Structures are given as C-alpha cells and as structure tokens.
Structure 1
Amino acid sequence: MVCGKLSALCCDTKRLRALHTAALLSFAIGLGGCSTAVVDKTLGMTPAQLYADAKDEMSNQQFEKAIVLYEKLEARAAGSPLALQAQLDKAYAYYLSREPVMALATIDRFIRLNPASPALDYAYYLKGVVTFNNDLGMFGRYTGQDLAERDQKAARESFDAFNEVVTRFPQSRYAEDSRQRMGFTVAALAKYDVFVAKYYFRRGAYLAAINRAQNAVSEYRNVPAVEEALFLIYKAYDVMGLPAMRDDARRILAASFPDSAYLGPAGEGDDWLKR
C-alpha cells in the first residue's frame, strides 16, 4: 500500500518537473522574442556618409528621415564643422516639413552657441525666411489672407533677422534677397497700420485712427500705404471738424504724392474705406 503511494508520488513529481521545465522553456523563448533589438543600419557609418545619406533623403523629400540622420551625425561628431552644418540643414528640413517651431528652435540654438560661425549669415537668413512664412498657416493659405492682416509680431521678427544679415554681413550672398524681403515686410507693416486705422475710422474712433495712421507715416517711408495713411488723417480731421489740421494733412498729402488719386474724385465719399 505504502509502495503504491510512493510510486504515485514519484510519478506526480516527475510530471510536475516536466511541466515546470516546459514552462521555463516557454518563458525563455518569450523573453528571447521580446528582447529582439532593432538593428541600427547607420552603425559604422562615418559622419560624411551620414551627411550624404541625409542629403539624399532631402532630395527625395523624406524630411523626417533626413532629420533623424542629421541628429545621429550631430551626436557622433559633436562640434565638428560637418555637425554644425547638419544643425542648419536639420533646421531647413524642419521648415520644409512644416514644423516652424522646431526649425526656429534649432536656428536660435545654433546662433546662441556659434556666434563666430562663418555660416551665421545663413542662420539669420534662414530664421528670417522661416519667420516670414510662419504666420501663413492653414488659415492664411486657404483664405488668401493678406500679409498685412496677419501676425505682425512674426513680420517684425522676420525683418529683424533679415536686417542682421544686411547690417552685419553686407557682402553675404544672402544680403540682396534679405533687402528685398525687408522691403516687402516694411510695406506689409505699414499696410497693417492703415488696415487698423481704417478699422478705427469705421467705428468712429477718429483719434485712434489718426494715431495709427501717423505711425505708418513716421515709421515707414517710401511705401504705398503711406499715401493712404495721409489721406485717412485728412479725412479724420475733416469729420472731427478741425479744418486747420485737415488742411495741413491735405497739403502734406499733395506735396508727398502730387499725383495721388485721393486728391481727386477717388477721395470723395466713403468708397475708399471699402478698399
């Protein structure tokens, strides 16, 4: 009887050991499957090879892949000329992939850490370009929104960046384009002041309209919006019943823009407010 029980116990023990061994084997296989690492295909590549591959991805408009490669290059060759170039190329890749915040952060970091870099002119130029287009956004793109009606903070920051190129690097290959973009930005800023002044005028806030129009006249010169700003000042003084100041404003308008359409029939009525 005792022998039979011992025999049964031995059989149960062997069965438990077998099950335990099978369980351990299964667990080990599972762990093996979970620990399979993704192979980094760039291991062993030189910085030059990484840069070349990143440029290829840029050419194929695979900007996210290019960004990853540029970051690997920066990590493996930190401080080298190629790594510094990769920072700027990465910023441009962010810009093309419609990530202006990341692009600007990358550029600002480059400017802060590399104040003596020979590529500093390009860094400021790229900052101006990114900021210049940053305020377009989905709304501006699909409604045809005028630059003068969009974010003026971005326009001013863009102007400042281009001005850095023109002022500090007058012989730079990016200087001429920076000048042209500055002119466009100034025209937009002046037009924005007139846009706001007309808003005040339509609501009867004539003094506020005059102040905003005068800002366009004093801050921005030789741009088309100044003509309308002077005319708006003239009209506001007229509505306010201040003939002396009205006539002064008209004289300045005539002297500055002798062929102005506002001096003729175009200046009559309120149609000019609708433009």
Structure 2
Amino acid sequence: MRLVKTCAALVLVSLLSACTWWSENADVEPDIPEQQLYEEALSAMDDGNYSLAVDKLQLLEARYPFGRYSEQAQLELIYAYFKTFEPQSSAAAADRFIRLHPNHDNIDYAYYMKGLTAFEQDRSFLTRYLPLDETQRDPGAARDSFDSFSTLVSRYPESEYAPDAQKRMQYLKNRLATYEIHVATYYMKRQAWIAAANRGRYVVENYQETPAVPDALAIMYEAYTQLAMTDLADDALQVLTLNFPDYEIHSFREGSYSLLYTASFGLFGEGEEVVAPVRPTQSLGETRAEEREKEDSKEERSWFDRATFGIFE
C-alpha cells in the first residue's frame, strides 16, 4: 500500500512539472531576426500604428541591445512615444540617447525632439481649443523646451532643425516673459515692491526684444518709486521713455474701494482710483504730473450726481 502511494505521488509531481514547463514555454515568443523587427516597427509607423511600433522597438532593444539597428531604434522610439502622447517617456528616451551617444551624427534630432515634446506638453488640450491664457499657467515645460532648443541652436547651428527651433524659441521667450509680468503684477497688487521690481528687472535682462519689456520697465519704475529709490526709478523711466515713447504709463497697483462702493457699482461709498505713479521733481514726469493735477482739480461728485448719472448736476 505504501508503494502505491509513493508511485501516485511521483506521477502527480511529474504531471505538475510537465504542466509548468509547457506553460512557461508557451509564454516565450519565438526568436525574430533583428532586421525583421526593425522593418515591422517602421511599417507600423508608416501605417500610423505607433503603439505597435513602440512594442516592436522595445522588443528590438531588449533582444538586440548591441545590434546594428539598436541606435536607430532608440531614435525611432523617441518619435513613437511622442506620437502616442507619452511626453515623459519621449523625453526620457531622448535623454537616454543623448547620454549614451553624445557624439552621434543625429544627436541634434534627439535635442530637437526633446524640446518639441516639452513644447507640445506645455500646450494642453484646453489651451488649443478654448480661449484660455496659457501665459498664466506654470511655465515649467516651456522652460524645459526653451533650454533644449537653446542647446540645439548653440551647439549645432547648422542643423536642419535649428531654424524651426529658433522660431519656437521666440514664441517661448514671449510666453515666459509674459508669465513674469503676471507674477510681477500679482506682487504689485500685494504691495511687495521689491519682489515686483526684481521680476521686472529679470524680464529686461533676460527677455529683451519681447512685448513684455515696456510693462517690465513700468513695473520697475512704479515699484522703485514706492520704495523711494529715486535713482533706480529715474533709470527705469528714462529707458522706458526713450525706447517706448508711445507707451502709456499706468499703475499696476490695485485700487482701494469700500464695500458699499463696490456693491453699488461706484454710486455710493468711497473709492480710491489708482493713477500712474508721478514724481513731479523730474522732467520726464512733468506730463503725467500735469494730468494728475487736472484730475485732482475736478470737482468732487456728490452722491446725488452719481445716483442720477450726472443728469441733474
């Protein structure tokens, strides 16, 4: 009886081992030649099936890491990830290629794709199809894109991708400069004069020839005026006046209004409108000073005049 049990146990163990062996071998894919894998990946990309292309390229890298198509497969993988809307994977693949092949003939393509991936990542779905101001969003991806394009242009100025990178860099400069103005305006409304002045100076020093420069100079002028830094305020105003003579100086501070004034839409209560900063001791501010005097000389409107919208008074 004991012998029968022993034999039955051995047979059972053998059957289980056989099942395990067959199941393991069933999951193992047959060997595919390197060239065939690469051609299948390219064919999938030509057909627009980028998910399949990613699978083929990943398999090629895993099985033939030092093959004749490995380097080209890494480049193709960057683009395939980009087309499957996987920006993190695309950027990681580009960084990996740059690290492994710093002297490759097509390394300029890796830098370009890295910048393009961050560029498209910064432009979200909502900003493409809805009228949203993307300059008020976090510019982290825009900075990464600008840095990658800048590296490409500086290191490989003769690259075929350099002209397009330069155009995108100009757009990114305008976007980053406008974001700094939004932040500076926020500081001005909170009366954080030093922080606002530093933001304005950063725009002037790093984003020249952008539409945000005159606003940056105006913020510097107003912030330095509030800080009683006369020399710095004079310098900012002089640069602004000489380079942008048609710019109309306005205040970036927030007005002070009472609750009654706000609730009645300005009919009742007291409200202090913010006017442009004026320093009548300097010649460049005489025009604005004269305008301020004219505004102050106007007769104060009574509550009855406000309520009747000026019809009876």
TM-score w.r.t. the length of structure 2 is 0.68
Structure having the larger proportion of residues in helix: 1
Counterpart of 1:204?
191
Counterpart of 1:221?
208
Gaps of 5+ in 2: 256-273, 275-313
> CA offset at residue 42 of structure 1?
5.7
Instruction: Tell me how far apart the structure 2 counterparts of residues 83 and 269 of structure 1 sit (CA, whole Å).
Output: 56
Q: Deviations over 1:17-72 (max 9, x none)?
A: 3x776665565444444432335556233x22211211233345544432232123
> CA offset at residue 136 of structure 1?
5.4
Residue number among 221, 243, 255 corresponding to 1:256 in the alignment: 243
Gaps of 5+ in 1: 1-12
Residue 134 (structure 2) pairs with residue 151 (structure 1): no
Closer, same or farther in 2 for the Cα pair 1:210/1:59, shift >3 Å?
A: same
Counterpart of 2:118?
131
Residue 54 (structure 2) pairs with residue 67 (structure 1): yes
> CA offset at residue 230 of structure 1?
1.1
SS in 1 for 2:104: coil
SS in 1 for 2:69: helix
> CA offset at residue 141 of structure 1?
7.7
Counterpart of 2:219?
232
Instruction: Tell me how far apart the structure 1 counterparts of residues 84 and 180 of structure 2 sit (CA, whole Å).
Output: 32
Counterpart of 2:90?
103
Closer, same or farther in 2 for the Cα pair 1:22/1:198, shift >3 Å?
A: same
Question: After the TM superposition, which of the residue ranges 233-242 and 200-209 deviates more from structure 2?
Answer: 233-242
> CA offset at residue 255 of structure 1?
1.7
Residue number among 168, 171, 177 corresponding to 1:190 in the alignment: 177
Q: Contact between 1:42 and 1:50, CA under 8 Å: does it hold in 2?
A: no
Instruction: Tell me how far apart the structure 1 counterparts of residues 18 and 104 of structure 2 sit (CA, whole Å).
Output: 49
> CA offset at residue 226 of structure 1?
0.9
Q: Contact between 1:132 and 1:158, CA under 8 Å: does it hold in 2?
A: yes
Q: Deviations over 1:87-129 (max 9, x none)?
A: 1111222233343333222222211221221111101111111
Counterpart of 1:177?
164
Counterpart of 1:48?
35
When the two structures are aligned, how many residues end up with a matched partner?
A: 253
Residue 99 (structure 2) pairs with residue 112 (structure 1): yes
Q: Deviations over 1:135-154 (max 9, x none)?
A: 556897898461453133x4
Q: Contact between 2:189 and 2:252, CA under 8 Å: does it hold in 1?
A: no
RMSD: 3.4
Instruction: Tell me how far apart the structure 2 counterparts of residues 193 and 81 of structure 1 sit (CA, whole Å).
Output: 48
Q: Contact between 2:111 and 2:152, CA under 8 Å: does it hold in 1?
A: yes
> CA offset at residue 212 of structure 1?
1.1
Q: Contact between 2:81 and 2:87, CA under 8 Å: does it hold in 1?
A: yes
Counterpart of 1:168?
155
Calculate percent identity across the aligned residue pairs.
35
> CA offset at residue 214 of structure 1?
0.7
Counterpart of 2:285?
none
Question: After the TM superposition, which of the residue ranges 173-182 and 65-74 deviates more from structure 2?
Answer: 65-74
Q: Deviations over 1:185-212 (max 9, x none)?
A: 2222222221221111111111221111
Counterpart of 1:88?
75
Closer, same or farther in 2 for the Cα pair 1:106/1:244, shift >3 Å?
A: closer
Instruction: Tell me how far apart the structure 2 counterparts of residues 137 and 229 of structure 1 sit (CA, whole Å).
Output: 27
Closer, same or farther in 2 for the Cα pair 1:192/1:63, shift >3 Å?
A: same
> CA offset at residue 77 of structure 1?
3.8
Counterpart of 1:38?
26
